[in-house]
Amino acid sequence: MERVTLTIENHVGIVTLNRPEAGNALDLQMAKELMEVAISCSENEEIRAVVITGAGNKFSVGGDLKSFAKEGEAIGSHLKTVTAYLHQAISYFARMNKPFIGAVNGIAAGAGMSLACACDLVYASENSKFVMAYNKIGLTPDGSGSYFLPRIVGMKRALELMYTNRILNAQEANDWGIVNDVVSEVELMNVVIQLAENLAQGPMNAFGATKKLFAHSLQETLESQMAIESTSLSERAISQEGQEGISAFLEKREAEFIKK
């Protein structure tokens, strides 16, 4: 791996977009590596929470337009290949049971902003900025941006960000619900990793089931969603996690969700 790295500490997988010399711009190789890392994160039982960040002083400036333009008339087919890997990576990250946390350490533009929006939780440094940037160059969003952004900020604001290429600073992104909190650049990784380590000690499968419930809620009726809730709750109650959680509550002790 060169363009995306994965380290594991205390059950936390730390994914780093690693092209700082290019603003962590996403090219074909990075998309492939990101998919491979996403598979590792979703399958590795040692990893119980995942953090994604960027090397250097940027999260990601988005797609590597220079590499795309070099394809000439084949740019269309090339982008289908790039997005095939990118979208599979995001699908694995978003659908795994493990919490997926973004540590946005600078500009998140285009696919970089889409990737941030795909995270379950996002924390941003004070100097970070968010911009969709696609319409500015006559393109449309990828990397799940058109799925997650309107769900986070609402349709009108999402279209405003697309049409005007408005740049949101960290505090504005926080106000709009794109990020959970803004912290100092120095403290960003400490704050996020501490949170990830705490969540890694938690009921990972319950986190995953909760994530699925929330995702399904947008396409269900009230009654059908409550039926899904009932089934999920029953399944969780008889699971090892549920049994441990209930026992710990009744015994007035901390639950231990990781097998010793």
Q: Token pair of 46, please?
A: 């040692």
As a whole number of angstroms, the distance between CA 13 and CA 39 comes to 12
As a whole number of angstroms, the distance between CA 187 and CA 128 comes to 13
Count of other CB atoms within 10 angstroms of residue 72: 7
CB 86, CB 35: distance < 8 Å: yes
As a whole number of angstroms, the distance between CA 82 and CA 68 comes to 9
User: Which of 172, 116, 110, 169 has the alpha carbon at shortest distance from 136?
Assistant: 110
Q: Token pair of 260, please?
A: 């010793």
Q: Which class for 43: exposed (0-12), middle (13-18), buried (19 or more C-beta within 10 A)? A: exposed
DSSP state of 60: B
Q: Token pair of 28, please?
A: 């074909």
User: Which of 162, 147, 142 has the alpha carbon at shortest distance from 80?
Assistant: 142
As a whole number of angstroms, the distance between CA 163 and CA 200 comes to 39
Query: Catalytic site residues?
Result: 87, 142
